[in-house]
């Protein structure tokens, strides 16, 4: 499959753009190395309270096979890491909303810089609204809504370790969370 290329100049410009937006904890990756797994989708279906309740989560998302194919269409992407400790679980929504809104603005600028394929996977569920509409046609911000990596069947733990990030299962809220967003570029 033919890929659009990313010139060294464009890459430098994007690094500058990321810096201008305050992002420093990220790595360039080959999206073909993103690990897509059926077990991730099983965890969505059985065990996640957002299944069927979020417009950007299964069963509203592409199949695992389609997700796998999607990542194969790209040659350059970036993984961003975000770390945070929250006092209580309810605080997580506001943090996610803020981070995802900033990432959406970044995706738009990457697109406007001439990368028509730019597509973001938020660091967690969309969370732009307090209560998600639950299906794509009722989504309150359809232009901004994006899926999370997990909802696209990405094995985030194995994938980010492959690119040199360390990440462990957290067992309590007083431990810092590590969340990862993926920006597919070309």
The residues that touch ligand SF4, with contacts defined as CB under 6 A, are 54-56, 126-129, 132-133, 139-141, 144-145
Which residue in 8, 20, 125 sits closest to 76, CA to CA? 8
Nearest distance from residue 100's CB to ligand SF4, in Å?
9
R_g of the chain computed on alpha carbons: 16
Shortest distance (Å) from residue 13 CB to ligand SF4? 29
CB of 91 to ligand SF4, least distance (A): 17
Q: Is the peptide bond before 89 cis (omega within 30 degrees of 0)?
A: no
Task: Find, among 140, 109, 137, 110, the residue nearest to 127 by Cα.
Answer: 140
Residue 186: Cβ-neighbour burial (10 angstroms; 0-12, 13-18, 19+): buried
Kindly state the smallest distance separating residue 132's Cβ from ligand SF4, in Å: 3
183, 80 Cβ separation under 8 angstroms: yes
Residue closer to ligand SF4 by CB (options 48, 133) is 133
Q: Closer to ligand SF4 by CB, 120 or 128: give it.
A: 128
Q: Smaller CB distance to ligand SF4: residue 81 or 146? A: 146
Distance CA 151, CA 126 (A): 10
Question: Which C-beta is closer to ligand SF4: that of 128 or that of 184?
Answer: 128
> Based on CB atoms, which residue is closest to ligand SF4, 29 or 127?
127
As a residue count, the chain comes to 186
DSSP, collapsed to helix, strand or coil, labels residue 59 as coil
SS3 call for 128: coil
Compare residues 54 and 115 and give the one whose CB is closer to ligand SF4. 54
Q: How far is the CB of 51 from ligand SF4 (least distance, A)?
A: 14
- Least distance (Å) between residue 61 CB and ligand SF4: 11
């Amino acid at each position: 499959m033919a890929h659009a290329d990313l010139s060294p100049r464009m890459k430098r410009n994007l690094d500058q753009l990321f810096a201008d937006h305050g992002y420093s904890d990220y790595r360039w990756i080959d999206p073909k190395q993103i690990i897509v797994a059926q077990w991730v989708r099983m965890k969505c279906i059985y065990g996640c309270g957002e299944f069927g309740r979020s417009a950007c989560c299964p069963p509203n998302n592409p199949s695992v096979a389609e997700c796998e194919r999607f990542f194969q269409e790209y040659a350059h992407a970036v993984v961003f890491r975000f770390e945070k400790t929250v006092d209580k679980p309810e605080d997580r929504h506001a943090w996610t909303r803020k981070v995802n809104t900033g990432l959406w603005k970044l995706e738009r600028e990457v697109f406007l810089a001439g990368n028509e394929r730019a597509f973001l996977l938020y660091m967690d569920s969309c969370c732009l609204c307090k209560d998600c509409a639950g299906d794509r046609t009722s989504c309150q911000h359809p232009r901004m809504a994006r899926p999370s990596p997990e909802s696209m069947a990405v094995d985030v733990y194995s994938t980010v370790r492959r690119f040199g990030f360390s990440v462990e299962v957290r067992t309590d809220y007083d431990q810092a969370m590590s969340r990862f967003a993926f920006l597919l570029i070309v």
